[in-house]
Structure 1
Amino acid sequence: MAAVHSLLASLPNQFAVAGSGVNSRSPVLTIKASSKGVSLAENGYSRRRQILVGVGAFASIFSQEKIAFAEEVPKNYEAFVDFIDGYTYYYPSDWRDFDFMGHDSAFKDRFAALQHVRVSFIPTEKRDVHDLGPMEEVIFNLVKNVYAAPNQTPTIYEMRERSLDGKNYWTFEYELATSFFGRTAFATIAIGNGRYYTLVVGANERRWSRVRNQLKVVADSFKILDI
Structure 2
Amino acid sequence: MASLSSYICSTPIQLSKVNSSPVAMSSVVRTISKDFMTTEKDCSIRRTMLVGLGALSTNFLLARFTLAKEGRDKYKSFVDVTDGYSYVYPSDWRDFDFLGHDSAFKDRIAALQHVRVGFIPTTKNDVHDLGPMEEVIFDLVTNVYSAPNQKPTIFDMQERTIDGKNYWTFEYELQSSGYARTAFATIAIGNGRYYTLVVGANQRRWSRLRDLLKVVADSFKILDIKPAAV
Q: State the TM bucket, normalised to the shorter chain.
A: 0.7 to 0.9
Q: CA deviation at 1:210?
A: 0.7
Q: CA deviation at 1:159?
A: 0.1
Q: CA deviation at 1:180?
A: 1.2
Write the mapping of 1:37-186 to structure 2, written as runs, cut at 5 A. 68-69=60-61, 74-186=72-184
CA deviation vs aligned residue, 1:119-153 (integer Å, no higher than 9, x gap): 00000000000000000000000000000100000
- The code of the aligned residue for 2:115 comes to V
Deviates more, 1:74-83 or 1:169-178: 74-83
Distance 1:157 1:68 in 2: 31
Q: What's the secondary structure of 1:206's corresponding residue? A: helix
Which TM-score applies when normalising by structure 2?
0.71
Asked if the contact 1:30–1:78 (Cα under 8 Å) also holds between the matched residues in 2, the reply is no
Asked if the contact 2:180–2:203 (Cα under 8 Å) also holds between the matched residues in 1, the reply is yes
Question: Identity across aligned pairs (percent)?
Answer: 70
Residue 23 of structure 2 is aligned to residue 31 of structure 1:
no
Aligned to 1:189: 187
The one of the two structures with greater contact order (alpha-carbon pairs below 8 A, sep at least 6) is 2
Asked if the contact 1:31–1:83 (Cα under 8 Å) also holds between the matched residues in 2, the reply is no
CA RMSD of aligned residues (A): 2.1
- The code of the aligned residue for 2:53 comes to I
Asked if the contact 1:30–1:79 (Cα under 8 Å) also holds between the matched residues in 2, the reply is no
Q: Which runs of 4+ in 1 moved over 4 A?
A: 70-73
Which TM-score applies when normalising by structure 1?
0.72
**Structure showing greater Rg:** 1
Gaps of 5+ in 2: 1-44, 226-230
Q: What's the secondary structure of 1:136's corresponding residue? A: helix
- The code of the aligned residue for 1:206 comes to R
Gaps of 5+ in 1: 1-11, 17-28, 33-51, 56-64
Q: CA deviation at 1:179?
A: 1.9
Q: CA deviation at 1:71?
A: 5.9
